Amino acid sequence: MREEGYISPRQAAVLLWFAILPTAILFLPALLVLRAHQDAWLSIIVATLAAGTVAVAVYLLARRFPHYTLFQCCELILGQVAGKAVAMVFVLAFFQLNAVVIREFSEFLATAVMPETPCLFFSISILIIAIYAARNGLEVITRCTDFILPLMVIFIAAIFLLAMPEMATRHLLPVLENGIRPVLGGALVAWSFLGQVVILATYGAFVNPPRALGWSLITGLLGIAFFLGLVVMGAIMVFGCCEVERLTFTAYDLAQVISLGQFFERVEVLFLAIWVAGVFIKITLNLYVTALGLATVTGLKEYRPLVAPLGALNIVMSCLLYRNISEVRQDLLLVEPGWTLTWQLGLPLLLLVVAWLRGKRRTGA
Amino acid sequence: MIILIILAFLAIAYLDGPGLWRKKEWRELAVMGIVWSLGLALSLAAAWHWPVPNPARILARVFGPVTMWLTNLIG
Amino acid sequence: MKAWLRWLAASLLLVLLPALTAGCWSRHEIEELAVVGAVALDAAPGDQVRLSVFITLPRAIAGGPSMGGSSGGAPAKVGEVISATGSDFAEAARRLEELIPRRLFWAQNHVLIIGEELARRGLHSLDFFSRERQMRLTMLILITSGEARQALDLPAGIELGPGTILTGIVRNKTTFKVELKDLLAMWEAPGDNPAIPRIVMTPAGGQESREAGGGGGGGSKGGGQEGGKKKPPEAVAIKGAGAFRDDRLVGWLDEKESNGLMWLRGEVREGVVTVTLPGQGAGQGQGGGRPQDFPRDQTRSQTQGQASVIFHRINAQTTARVEDQQLTFKVEIRGHGDLMENTANLNPDRQEDLQAIQEAVNREVGERVQAVIRKAQQELRTDIFGCGEILHRSNVRYWRQVRDHWNEEFTRAQIQVQVDLTLRRMGMTNRAPGKTGSTGGKGATQGTAR
């Protein structure tokens, strides 16, 4: 199905930031440091390069099939049956991703802020807003980001700058203590977050002009790497890598150490507000993409009726997926890298190769 | 709890269902109905603590070894 | 029909919405909270721990200390100290809540004081303080010999509660500062061991006194209520430090040694070094021979005196070197100081006098650093300098060989100290006050001072 609105390349890049950063800055650093220790920032560079291959695949697909979403490309390239099957895999993958994000969101709030509130309450309240936003279409979601983006960017930068007095660059040494392998292992973990740039293949169809998609991808990916690197490096320099490993919600702890002249303290509450707004965009975008994909696969004219039931299903799924928070973390460390590599890198590359072999393109549209 | 779940799902159905019915968009209605009933069934199962096959467990079964292999390969 | 349904849905939503949104589960009004202003951790008999908290009384803070004075002589009480024992701190904290009518609120807590006995048992019980979501990673960690709880009984002075008193003292930068996150980092790094500033209470009266309830089960109220039974400390000072091996307290550093530690770790901020300068030959011949030279006081030429120099920021750099299995650390301490006081008969305008002060300062700092090195290597046998991490950063291969028995290896390492401090500014005056010499005279002083 088709969406009527269009977004600018800049907005597409910003959406990409929101599709990855909010949960990544919170959950990734501890896991990354567990693998790569003080070289975690190198892992981010490696993972960014790896995610660059996805970006290239997305870009090439978009050049072959401008104005077509990833789900439509599947059918165009692989034919109806196989195409629908692959598109369904994407839909399920985005659905599962969203369930994990919702779970991460509510687990964090329940742990760090309101332990007495049932976890379900957080997921339901954010999903109500997300459903409302997603039903209004992509343009509305992007306009939300216009408001939240400055807050988020300023805040991440401010956290880094204000935590600077607590930082010591010596914590980043020695570089490559155990060779390159821990760095690659860390990159594998970081990958499962950064590989989500594949989401641009879906809403990228509504970017106008389509040839600017490359710019969106590059800016998006570099921005993500930059902010993620800022948080990871900041955390390592403040706490030392042994300690970051222990801090489950790293960015939150980083906000907690900020103290400016005895009165500007406890900014983590501010962090929380902005972070929730960021996660809201992330969840909304994933929900929108899932509904859009399901509508495409089943050949509907409208994705809107699917948003609310999918959201409800997402909540249930987020509760059913894991029994406790350490299962979430374990999953992010031990399962997600393989799974995300498959659907975020493997499948787009497969599509691209098949399209190239069969000489399919739809540039005239 | 059960009543709340049913109420919530009725509200979701009311959101789009009647409109689709009037416009006779049966396909939309069918897909939505499937997702909706899946959600309702899972919610009720969760509320009654019925065992439900866990997708995360399935993913872990398949992709855990893949990740392990990748990790051993490069990291 | 349609409109009617819509109305029903809307009103249902209106009814449900406030219940869902406004009724936060985790909401706590400030009147329901007991704001913890300082925490003291002690060991209790039978492998238990005792948690004591200073709870700020909001009325007393609002009223100020003068309010208490009006109510008849007794010093204003701004808070209440309560303690409870438990097999861990979470249990003890829960027992505290059995004793008070409010919920404990930890987020305003800035100070954590560890008692000696608990520190000797090990720091592993500190987990609660980094896991509990309200805790600040920036809270100050202090250690005391004897009972930590006593530090909470500090009488209100310039500041009201023990928390503000102790943070205020630390903010004066006379000692180094260890926050919870620093402690955790020092403790967790394989090549580092914690050292925590020490509180000394005077008079240390009632050192052995126990709280009324004793060990065992529930805690008991103490502090002000006990009054006559326990003498609260009159004043407090933060000097010296407790040195740890891994997570256990192994010994104390005295004031000089802990100062040396600060120099070695480069953590000196506003560090003052006072040196005694020998009475000099009062520039005989020099003053007379070179009338244009800067004068000294001639009246007390033979007496010795002191000079104090303040260093606002120093730079200590430690490098590790391994030469045929001999590990050598080289510490280079650099910094620029300002002269604060000069009672010696020296005129810092004269380069040789300046050199004399400078050399004496360098010697003094070197001695302090050597003192703490001796103590750490020979007596405590623990690397409180983080030398292991320095080795780790510069020579990973050698580090891997010694990592598992680092503290023993550390005692065999050679540590060379090179102090290179310079005196840069003199403050608002130049020479020490007093009559200048017969040859120089007042006229000469004025002449040279332009």
Q: Using the 8-state DSSP alphabet, how is residue A100 labeled?
A: H
Answer whether residue C75 shows pLDDT above 60.
no
Task: Note whether C166 and C296 are same-domain residues.
Answer: no
At residue C250, what is the residue type?
V
Which domain covers residue C44, as residue numbers?
32-62+76-208+217-253
Residue C15 resides in a domain: no
Q: Percent of chain C having pLDDT more than 70?
A: 75
Interface of A with C (CB under 8 A): 111-118, 121, 125, 166, 170, 173-174, 177, 238-240, 242-243, 246, 253, 256-257, 259, 266
Answer whether residue C393 shows pLDDT above 60.
yes
CB C113 within 8 A of CB C242: no
Q: In this structure, how many other beta carbons lie within 10 angstroms of the beta carbon of residue C351?
A: 10
Q: Given this model, what pLDDT does residue A285 score?
A: 92
Number of helical (H) and strand (E) elements in chain A, helices listed first? 16, 2
Q: Look at C396 and A257 and tell me if their CB atoms are within 8 Å.
A: no
pLDDT single digits (tens) C307-337: 888 888 888 888 888 888 888 899 898 888 8
Q: Does residue A9 have a cis bond before it (omega within 30 degrees)? A: no
Most A CBs within 10 A among B16, B61, B62, hence the mutation to make, goes to B16
Q: Given this model, what pLDDT does residue A325 score?
A: 86
pLDDT tier for residue C216 given thresholds of 50, 70 and 90: very low
Task: Note whether C185 and C299 are same-domain residues.
Answer: no
All residues of chain B having their beta carbon less than 8 Å from the beta carbon of residue A42 are: none
For residue A316, the SS3 value is helix
All residues of chain C having their beta carbon less than 8 Å from the beta carbon of residue B16 are: none
Task: Note whether C231 and C283 are same-domain residues.
Answer: no
Nearest CA to B62 among A286, A337, A349, A24?
A337
Residue in B46, B67, B74 closest to A319 by CB: B46
- Report the number of distinct structural domains present in chain C: 2
Is the C-alpha dihedral spanning A131, A135, A138, A139 positive or negative? Answer: negative
Per the model's pLDDT, the better-predicted residue between C161 and C294 turns out to be: C161
Please state the rounded mean pLDDT for residues C290-298. Answer: 61
All residues of chain B having their beta carbon less than 8 Å from the beta carbon of residue C5 are: 14
Residue C152 resides in a domain: yes
Min distance A27 CA to chain B CA atoms (Å): 18
Q: Given this model, what pLDDT does residue C66 score?
A: 46
Q: Given this model, what pLDDT does residue C33 score?
A: 82
Residue A67 resides in a domain: yes
Residue C140 resides in a domain: yes
Please state the rounded mean pLDDT for residues C410-419. Answer: 88
A-B C-beta contacts closer than 8 Å: 115
Answer whether residue C439 shows pLDDT above 60.
no
Task: Note whether C48 and C102 are same-domain residues.
Answer: yes
Burial of residue C66 (CB within 10 Å: 0-12, 13-18, 19+) is: exposed
Chains contacting B (3+ CB pairs below 8 angstroms):
A, C
Q: Given this model, what pLDDT does residue C210 score?
A: 36
Task: Note whether C395 and C276 are same-domain residues.
Answer: yes
Residue A216 resides in a domain: yes
**CA nearest to C395 within chain A:** A174
> Given CB atoms, is B14 within the 8 Å cutoff of chain C?
yes
> Mean pLDDT for chain C?
77
pLDDT single digits (tens) A337-353: 888 888 888 888 888 88
Q: Given this model, what pLDDT does residue C73 score?
A: 44
CB A171 within 8 A of CB A240: yes
> Given CB atoms, is A341 within the 8 Å cutoff of chain B?
yes
Task: Note whether C300 and C392 are same-domain residues.
Answer: yes
Task: Note whether C230 and C346 are same-domain residues.
Answer: no
Residue C433 resides in a domain: yes
Q: What angle do CA C345, C348, C351 make, to 5 degrees?
A: 115
Task: Note whether C234 and C271 are same-domain residues.
Answer: no
Determine the straight-line distance between the first and last CA of chain C, rounded to whole angstroms. Answer: 102
Residue C382 resides in a domain: yes
Residue C294 resides in a domain: yes
Residue C416 resides in a domain: yes
Task: Note whether C232 and C361 are same-domain residues.
Answer: no
Angle between helices B26-47 and A304-321 (to 10 degrees): 20
Distance CA C4, CA C12 (A): 12
Q: Given this model, what pLDDT does residue A284 score?
A: 93
**CA nearest to A121 within chain C:** C20
Q: Using the 8-state DSSP alphabet, how is residue C198 labeled?
A: E
Q: B36: which residues sit within 8 A by CB, 6+ positions away?
A: A309, A312, B9, B12, B13
pLDDT single digits (tens) C76-127: 567 888 889 888 888 888 888 888 888 888 888 889 999 988 888 888 888 8
Min distance B14 CA to chain C CA atoms (Å): 10
pLDDT tier for residue C438 given thresholds of 50, 70 and 90: very low
User: Is the complex ipTM more than 0.90?
Assistant: no
Residue A2 resides in a domain: no
Answer whether residue C197 shows pLDDT above 60.
yes
Nearest CA to C59 among C71, C49, C42?
C71
Mean pLDDT by 10 residues, chain A (365 residues): 72 89 89 88 90 89 84 85 89 91 89 80 88 87 87 85 83 81 88 88 83 87 90 89 86 83 74 88 92 88 86 89 86 87 88 84 64
pLDDT tier for residue C226 given thresholds of 50, 70 and 90: very low
Both structure tokens of C276: 């005694």
- Report the number of distinct structural domains present in chain A: 1
For residue A73, the SS3 value is helix
Q: Given this model, what pLDDT does residue C60 score?
A: 57
CB C271 within 8 A of CB C265: no
Provide the residue ranges of all domains of chain B, joining segments of one domain with +: 2-74
Residue C419 resides in a domain: yes
Task: Note whether C195 and C282 are same-domain residues.
Answer: no
Residue in A294, A295, A320 closest to B42 by CB: A320
Q: Quickly list DSSP for A271-296.
A: HHHHHHHHHHHHHHHHHHHHHHHHHH
Residue A3 resides in a domain: no
Which domain covers residue A295, as residue numbers?
9-357
All residues of chain A having their beta carbon less than 8 Å from the beta carbon of residue C181 are: 166, 238-239, 243, 257
pLDDT tier for residue C228 given thresholds of 50, 70 and 90: very low
Both structure tokens of A319: 């509760």
- The residues in B 32-71 lying below 8 A from A, measured between CB atoms, are 32, 35-36, 38-39, 42-43, 46, 52, 54-56, 59-60, 62-71
Q: Given this model, what pLDDT does residue C27 score?
A: 62
